[in-house]
Amino acid sequence: MIQPRYRPERKQTAASGDAGATRRWVVVWLLWCGPLLARSQALAPAGHTPDVRWYEAAAAMKRLAQSWGDQAYGAVLVLDDHVVGEGPSRVIKHGDPNAHAEREAIQDAQRRLKRTKLTGSILYSTSRPCAACEAAAAAASVSRMVFGDTLQDAGVPRAVPRP
Ligand SMILES: [Zn+2]
């Protein structure tokens, strides 16, 4: 019997049903971001003044982003009771799909403090950070995240215009 010389293998991706790869990815993700997520929360109820105060600073960043027609997200990074990083969304302004408010705040703090690790800092954002920003925060050793609206509340993110 003649065997076919080429037998295309079924491509194994998470989308095509490789449950093992998906499970491994989830485990890695939880190990990476889990400790940070465990210390993070939606905005504390009114009356918890520090959180509300810094959330207002993040809301100001959101308004700044909206002032140039960007996505309605804002974030600040607070360390030792000072804002050390400011992050209005610059996705539309810079045409950069990764220029999320949280990442902008983290990078701003890293530039200002001239260091990559931001241990002890708290990231305040107007919406729950996306997975990429959670990973960026975990990589930068951000200690806690406090966030406001759900993603739905901020509306559907708009597409980045083509350069
Ligand atoms: Zn993000």
The pLDDT score that the predictor gives to residue 40 is 82
Tens of pLDDT, residues 41-89: 776 555 556 777 888 899 999 999 999 999 999 999 999 999 999 999 9
Phi, then psi, of 100 in degrees rounded to 5: -70, 155
CA of 151 to the centre of ligand 1 (A): 10
Mean predicted confidence (pLDDT) in 29-34: 84
- What is residue 15's predicted lDDT score, i.e. its pLDDT? 56
Residue 122 reports pLDDT greater than 90: yes
Local confidence band at 155 (pLDDT 50, 70, 90 cut-offs) = very low
| 118 close to 96: Cβ distance less than 8 angstroms | no
What is the distance in A from the centroid of ligand 1 to the CA of 4?
Answer: 48
Q: How far apart are CA 151 and CA 73, in angstroms?
A: 10
C-beta atoms surrounding 79 within 10 Å: 18
